[in-house]
Structure 1
Amino acid sequence: MKPGRLLVLLFRVVFLLASGAAPVLAADPSFQFTATAKDFGSYFPSYLANGYFSTMTSPRGTEPDAAYMVAFMDYKPGDISRPAAIPGWSEIDYNPGGGWLNRTRLDAGIFQGYAQTLDMRDATLTTRYRFAYANKASDIQVASFVSQASPHLAATRISITPQFDGKVQLSFPLRLWSEHAPRFPIASMEGEEMIAAVIASGQNLDNKPVPTPDRAPVWYPGYTQVLSTAGDTKALTLQLKGRAQQGLGMAEAAALALPEGLEPDEVKLERTPTKLSLEITATLKKGRRYDFTKYLALTRDGWGNDEDVLALATAARKRGFARLLAEHQAAWHGLWRSDIVVDGDPAVQKAVHSDLYYLLSNSTVGTAWPMGACALTPNYAGHAFWDSDSWVFPALLLLHPERAKPIVAFRARTTEPARARARQYGVAGTMYPWEADPQTGVDVTPHFAWEVYREVHVNADIAIAQWQYYLATGDTQWLKTQAWPVLQGIATFWTSRVTYDQAHDRYEVHHVTSPDEAYNDVPNDSFTNAAARKALEIAVKAAHLVGAQADPRWSEIASKMYIPFDEAEQRHLDFDKSVPHDKITWMGSSLAWLMYPNLDLAMTPQVRRNDFDFQLQALKSHGDDPNEMMMVMLAVGAAELGDARAAGDWINRNLVGFLKPPFNVRTETAANNAGYILATSAGFLQSMLYGLTGLRIDDQGLSEKYAPVLPPGWNGLTLKGVHFRGQRYDIKVERGADGKVRLVRKVSP
């Protein structure tokens, strides 16, 4: 490069840094997801979020979009708890004289040159088009983000360049949602009642074409009642206070910044049952760019220190959009120092980055909140399942242990509700629910799914996650004060839940729901029994480390736990041989669970091969529209067998059908549109973190349990910025000069 050119570039970088703006760097296509006009009819929304609150995306970049806050729940009597939709904050509307932007049909001839990019490295949404309607045209650019650097803040900016002189109208509302109707008494409805009620409401639960939600009749949002509103046309501010129905209080404020030098013709405050808004009329000049910025501040009971949201919003306005954006981007770039880098398959790399984005944008630091099954959306009612402990937690643990910790902290915080539930069901210790409320930890499983009270493997899953956190951090003080009560309570639960079979001198677990949930009352589910055994073994080890007395029954039960096995076929059974394995399910079999990294049941290579082959055969013969949670595990199973080609095939299979365009939103199955399921994103990442590397977190450390593999055509796989016991590593799977695949660890600064 010529010296003069280098000086010019350096000057630009210095200028941008001095002005508070982020320097413009070449975009990495593996982080870029762009919608075009071709996506108008099948646009599956994504979201912007920072773990504490969110907003959904929409094609124009300006629509009234739903928004949610972490563990902010509606507790309407008769219903299950569900995330209360907070007043929508990202909406802006524009009328150049012929019609309002948000009410004009999506058409490529009206929204000309349309492109919307979700940059997952920067966590920003940018939308560009020429709005050409009623003989007037305006160039529009909208940029929005939810701050990773300042968790209570967000901002959205609309930049307008009119191709005419004249008056325009702009609207900057906080959207006040109505309560969802109909609301069903899901807390008491049977399954057939639920289906009948949905049909009676004019809806159904059938799979629907993208992007129509097909589970919305059940997983609808809760309600935030707005208690007070205020606005100031001179200060250009809005503020409100509200309360989730029967739940916590919240507050929200917005501060508007007008284009430099623009004196509006009129500013009005509009207060209606559906919105609180600043309405502006202004005269614009042809060819000039006008930037209107809306700064947003949010808080809720139990989050923050009684922040004055109006002061936060006005302070954000004073700091300015460029500075806030630069701080936000810098925070995200810091997160991406820990990354998974695929060399040789751009499509897989793109999926890895989108899955990491969805996990990181829903994680918090220094809290005791879990992650809802479907992120900061109302799907699966925002409840905490085993998804948090067995799926999301291991995916975050090596790269971002500080963001994995709130998941295990939540279980420590909610031991009392778990003890109460154990008493309710006549067992000892702690019995964590299948669906836990993310704020209170109480059981909020819908009544129509009541049979999953038998899906007690969640209690073992929780114990395994607690132990993994200790193994990864070596934090003995945390183990003693936080994890030990959880581990002790769960081990005590299993001692009272097992049945001793004197004839065979073994312990069994009866009346359980398998992970393949169509089998909802079976004896001796193999995954449940194996996980329970591991939980008991963990409790014995933890007792020794914290100086507590282990119940001698824990070791006895663990050593004699029955795990069904077919000697003739040399493979595990899904459950007791007395139960016919003959149902059509969305998993076919649950044997793949036995190979999953957090359980990693010991078995011979031949048994592992037989289990894997049976899983595939059962999937073909008994599977229907398979659940992605099972599908993403098959790459791990193939990698454990040393089959690099099969592992690569399964990784690529999980790119087909499950990723909804344009933003790679993973859905529960390829056919249904129950989206934002974090467990599936986490499972895909575990295929890289633990599958291809062969790494396991065990008592010896971060062990090379299985030989690493690389799919054909891949040049390498790198885990950047792995954190383990106070060290930071880069771990690479690569081919040596001899063509053999090897794993290399390098301590990084």
Structure 2
Amino acid sequence: MKYRNLIFTSLFVLAAPAFAATDPSFVLTGASKDFDTYFPSYLANGWFSTMTSVRGTEPNMAYMVAFMDYKKDDISRPATIPAWSEIDYNPGGGWLNSTRVAPHIFTDYAQTLDMHDATLTTSYRFVYANKATDVKVTSFVSQAAQHLAATQLSITPQFDGEVQITFPIRLWTEYAPRLPIGKLTGDQMIASVIASGQTLDNKPIPYSDRTAVWYHGVTHVSGADGDAKNLTLWLDGRAEQGLAMAEAAAIALPKDLAIVDTKLEKSDVKLSLNLTAKVQKGKTYTFTKYIAMSRENRALGLTERGNSSESGDAKVTLDLVMKARSTGFDKLLAAHQSAWHELWKSDILVDGDANVQKAIHSDLYYLLSNTTVGTAWPMGACALTPNYAGHAFWDSDSWVFPALLLLHPERAKPIVDFRHRTMQPARERAKQFDVKGTMYPWESDPETGVDNTPHFAYDVYREIHVNADIAIAQWQYWLASGDKKWLKDSGWPVIREIAEFWKSRVSYDKEHDRYEIHHVTSPDEAYNDVPNDSFTNGAARKALDIAIKAAALVGEKADPAWAEISKKMYIPFDEKNQRHLDFDETVPHDKITWMGSSLSWLSYPNLDLPMSPEVRKNNYDFQLHELKVHGDDPNEMMMVMLAVHAAQLGDAKSAGDWVERNLVGFLKAPFNVRTETVANNAGYILATSAGFIQSFVYGFTGLRIDDQGLHEAYPPTLPAQWKSLTLRNVAFRGKHYDIAVERGADGKAKLTRRAH
């Protein structure tokens, strides 16, 4: 009970005064011109979400963090929860949500995502069947109270008469056709998709072109009911072979509404409160739908494991939502806004490019919307959506984690804690592949940590650099936090067993007196089962070096073999051209891939392989050449790496050009939803938002987190059109700084720090 009371106590803390006029870089707006190309965004607080929709009132897919469906023969996938944001309205000629979206029906249309306040507001005049109604909808998922959300509908009818309003919770049916992706080969999967009438071809916006593979799981509702007199709804559910959840709604009506009838509707697809009321012309009526969510938590590492509000029980959840209704919309919203304003105290500011600034804010907004505090959950590559099945890849450790670490370390920590929590499944997987220590999966289930890589991608088990990426992230958290207890209790066990993995995985080449790693998948994944991938070998060496340092700090003895292997680790190099090779020279580098080459990955901040400026430049030139010769449809990861690589070389123009290139085609209107490539509309991919943020935190600043602290490993750079770059409220080892890159009197970029 103590925890639940804390939620509501915090809600009475009023928000700080809002901006008199919201900074335009925080505002994304859709208009009627976007109707045909509307790409849904979502509202989320790290615990649950809802997709957005044009009218602002539709039933939308919604998801909860690590709430997974485990259907037989399938991979685990996010179970969609009953849709909670829907409100429908009928002025007498047709239902709002069933009427086609057209400019002459939805006039004076505007939908605004205010990222500073994390609210979605939709307004228009609904003109249909000779009746007009002014409509305004405001929705948010509370950042102040993780279980709560609300949608408020205001209608101003331009007529006298009787109207209908419904407040449904939509009970989704199971997606069909569901495929046995857990056991299908690639060819079988493609054949099944085609036979079902779908394709995997890229499609025009806004249609998802990977729905056939990344479909949602299902939540089975075991009990649902409501109270028409008390205006409440509640249900209990369970994901397919998964965890329990609960959902509840409480409706607040205008005090002077003339109600004709109130009914409770229950069916196998909908639970709803339905009202009939009389309205007067020109009068505004405001209805609020409060929502509470909870889910069962079996995952270890949660701050509040024993709370009834974490049980997934409908009675407890109903109590939460009734308290929310008593608190009222304005206070709930104020607390939510205040929490977001606190988050925005850490920010990235670019003076001189409005488009870049807006992209930074949208990427930070999505990162913050999908992260938790005090948990041990990772970050799915596509956040709280079903894409890539909600699984945790190396993206979580090498892309999202570093982007959060300096600005929001409390939101980065759950990502590294997830790897400690799921060590046992990684140990069992190591035994499966006859190696020691832990062998983390390419695709981890975010709740259990168990390998859930689709069978058609089975060969990707060789992309073992993920094991080194995890160790590097663990060490980065220690370096940034200075939390020695965490290092000893959590980080060190992960680092140690990963070092044991590499010790058992390398091969010794006696002839050349060196250690090699064979049978791996390169980050340029078309090259499968190759020897001595440079990125993998370099990352493995760094992981071993980290283990030696960590052992000394926690008073443990390092295995002497770790230093021996690190010292003699082979990283392929072309002496003649003074550049690295992607992998062993025995493997032809001749395939058309989205990357062209993986050499720029050697300069990405999490690895930052030591090399001379000459070699770094030669690697960059080769990367550009291969993108032209062997590259096809490069994704955003490539753009990010090239921006960082160019910044390391001091090439401010090229670095700025790559940032600008990252804005073209990848950001889908109207809410800057990132897709993986320009043509692949799989849906929002969070990893590349994190990469874009890294371009500024580590690229243009030249900053690195290493044994020297937070230091300038490279001179800072500024594209000519930028006046300055500022990292506001950076946190490092308990201290806070503003870090700015500005031009000095000599015109050169210089970095300064100001302690708070």
Q: TM-score if structure 2 supplies the norm length?
A: 0.96
Q: Deviations over 1:639-668 (max 9, x none)?
A: 000011111111101000111111111111
Are residue 650 (structure 1) and residue 622 (structure 2) matched?
A: no
| Contact residue 128 and residue 142 of structure 1 kept, 8 A | yes
Q: How does 1:582-601 map to 2 (within 5 A)?
A: 582-601=590-609
Q: Deviations over 1:533-564 (max 9, x none)?
A: 00000000000000111111000000000000
Task: Give 2:5's aligned residue.
Answer: none
Letter in 2 for 1:235: N
C-alpha distance in 1, partners of 2:457/2:639? 23
C-alpha distance in 2, partners of 1:740/1:187? 55
Distance 1:18 1:88, change over 3 A: closer
Q: 1:631: how far off?
A: 1.6
Task: Give 2:416's aligned residue.
Answer: 408
Task: Give 1:178's aligned residue.
Answer: 173
| Stretch moving more, 23-32 or 89-98 | 23-32
Are residue 715 (structure 1) and residue 710 (structure 2) matched?
A: no
Distance 1:18 1:517, change over 3 A: closer
| Contact residue 168 and residue 270 of structure 2 kept, 8 A | yes
Are residue 122 (structure 1) and residue 107 (structure 2) matched?
A: no
Letter in 2 for 1:362: N
| Contact residue 258 and residue 279 of structure 2 kept, 8 A | no
Task: Give 2:214's aligned residue.
Answer: 219
Q: 1:627: how far off?
A: 1.7
C-alpha distance in 2, partners of 1:407/1:670? 28
C-alpha distance in 2, partners of 1:18/1:604? 54
Letter in 1 for 2:197: G
Are residue 432 (structure 1) and residue 432 (structure 2) matched?
A: no
Q: 1:113: how far off?
A: 0.4
| Contact residue 21 and residue 323 of structure 1 kept, 8 A | no
| Contact residue 13 and residue 335 of structure 2 kept, 8 A | no
Q: 1:675: how far off?
A: 2.1
Letter in 2 for 1:515: P
Are residue 269 (structure 1) and residue 264 (structure 2) matched?
A: yes
C-alpha distance in 2, partners of 1:676/1:388? 15
Task: Give 2:7's aligned residue.
Answer: none
Are residue 289 (structure 1) and residue 289 (structure 2) matched?
A: no
Task: Give 2:490's aligned residue.
Answer: 482
Task: Give 1:87's aligned residue.
Answer: 82
Given the alignment, which residue of 265, 273, 283 partners 1:278? 273
C-alpha distance in 2, partners of 1:643/1:635? 9
Q: Deviations over 1:160-179 (max 9, x none)?
A: 00000000001100000000
Task: Give 1:641's aligned residue.
Answer: 649
Are residue 66 (structure 1) and residue 74 (structure 2) matched?
A: no
Task: Give 2:530's aligned residue.
Answer: 522
Q: Deviations over 1:406-439 (max 9, x none)?
A: 0000000000000000001100000000000000
Distance 1:520 1:210, change over 3 A: same
Secondary structure in structure 1 of the residue aligned to 2:276: strand
C-alpha distance in 2, partners of 1:260/1:395? 47
Task: Give 1:6's aligned residue.
Answer: none
| Contact residue 443 and residue 451 of structure 2 kept, 8 A | yes
C-alpha distance in 2, partners of 1:198/1:410? 33
Are residue 78 (structure 1) and residue 80 (structure 2) matched?
A: no
Given the alignment, which residue of 675, 684, 693 partners 2:692? 684
Given the alignment, which residue of 252, 257, 266 partners 2:252? 257
Q: Deviations over 1:264-293 (max 9, x none)?
A: 111100001111000000001110110000
Distance 1:273 1:22, change over 3 A: farther
How many residue pairs are counted as aligned between the two chains? 732
C-alpha distance in 2, partners of 1:39/1:306? 43
Secondary structure in structure 2 of the residue aligned to 1:676: coil
| Stretch moving more, 302-311 or 725-734 | 302-311
Secondary structure in structure 1 of the residue aligned to 2:622: helix
Task: Give 1:310's aligned residue.
Answer: 318
Q: 1:738: how far off?
A: 2.3
C-alpha distance in 1, partners of 2:69/2:447? 11
Task: Give 1:28's aligned residue.
Answer: 23
Task: Give 1:12's aligned residue.
Answer: none
Are residue 738 (structure 1) and residue 746 (structure 2) matched?
A: yes
Structure 2: 5+ residue stretches without partners = 1-11, 310-315
Task: Give 1:384's aligned residue.
Answer: 392
Secondary structure in structure 2 of the residue aligned to 1:313: helix
Task: Give 2:501's aligned residue.
Answer: 493
Q: 1:19: how far off?
A: 9.2
Secondary structure in structure 2 of the residue aligned to 1:632: helix
C-alpha distance in 1, partners of 2:547/2:685? 31
Are residue 319 (structure 1) and residue 327 (structure 2) matched?
A: yes
C-alpha distance in 2, partners of 1:582/1:702? 39
Task: Give 2:636's aligned residue.
Answer: 628
Structure 1: 5+ residue stretches without partners = 1-16
Secondary structure in structure 1 of the residue aligned to 2:78: strand
Secondary structure in structure 2 of the residue aligned to 1:325: helix
Task: Give 1:357's aligned residue.
Answer: 365
Deviation >3 Å, runs of 4+: 17-24
Q: 1:623: how far off?
A: 0.8
Q: 1:691: how far off?
A: 0.3
Task: Give 2:141's aligned residue.
Answer: 146
Q: How does 1:411-560 map to 2 (within 5 A)?
A: 411-560=419-568
Secondary structure in structure 1 of the residue aligned to 2:308: coil
Task: Give 2:382's aligned residue.
Answer: 374
Letter in 2 for 1:692: F
| Contact residue 513 and residue 520 of structure 1 kept, 8 A | yes
Q: 1:238: how far off?
A: 0.1
Are residue 161 (structure 1) and residue 150 (structure 2) matched?
A: no
C-alpha distance in 1, partners of 2:395/2:107? 42
Q: 1:42: how far off?
A: 0.3
Task: Give 2:342's aligned residue.
Answer: 334
C-alpha distance in 1, partners of 2:18/2:594? 48
Letter in 1 for 2:89: Y
Task: Give 1:247's aligned residue.
Answer: 242
Q: Deviations over 1:30-84 (max 9, x none)?
A: 0100000000000000000000000000000001100000000000111000000
| Contact residue 174 and residue 277 of structure 1 kept, 8 A | yes
| Contact residue 78 and residue 216 of structure 2 kept, 8 A | yes
C-alpha distance in 1, partners of 2:92/2:729? 53
C-alpha distance in 2, partners of 1:62/1:673? 24
Distance 1:426 1:230, change over 3 A: same
| Contact residue 22 and residue 325 of structure 1 kept, 8 A | no
C-alpha distance in 2, partners of 1:120/1:394? 22
Q: 1:488: how far off?
A: 0.6
Task: Give 1:606's aligned residue.
Answer: 614
C-alpha distance in 2, partners of 1:76/1:264? 45
C-alpha distance in 2, partners of 1:556/1:737? 49
C-alpha distance in 2, partners of 1:434/1:583? 23
Q: 1:674: how far off?
A: 1.6
Q: 1:23: how far off?
A: 4.9
Task: Give 1:55's aligned residue.
Answer: 50
| Contact residue 22 and residue 326 of structure 1 kept, 8 A | no
Given the alignment, which residue of 111, 131, 134 partners 2:106? 111
Q: Deviations over 1:677-707 (max 9, x none)?
A: 1110011111100000000000010010000
Secondary structure in structure 1 of the residue aligned to 2:259: coil
C-alpha distance in 1, partners of 2:17/2:35? 31
| Contact residue 21 and residue 322 of structure 1 kept, 8 A | no
Q: 1:18: how far off?
A: 11
C-alpha distance in 2, partners of 1:149/1:737? 45
Task: Give 1:3's aligned residue.
Answer: none
Distance 1:559 1:127, change over 3 A: same
Are residue 201 (structure 1) and residue 196 (structure 2) matched?
A: yes
Q: 1:25: how far off?
A: 2.2
| Contact residue 48 and residue 64 of structure 2 kept, 8 A | yes
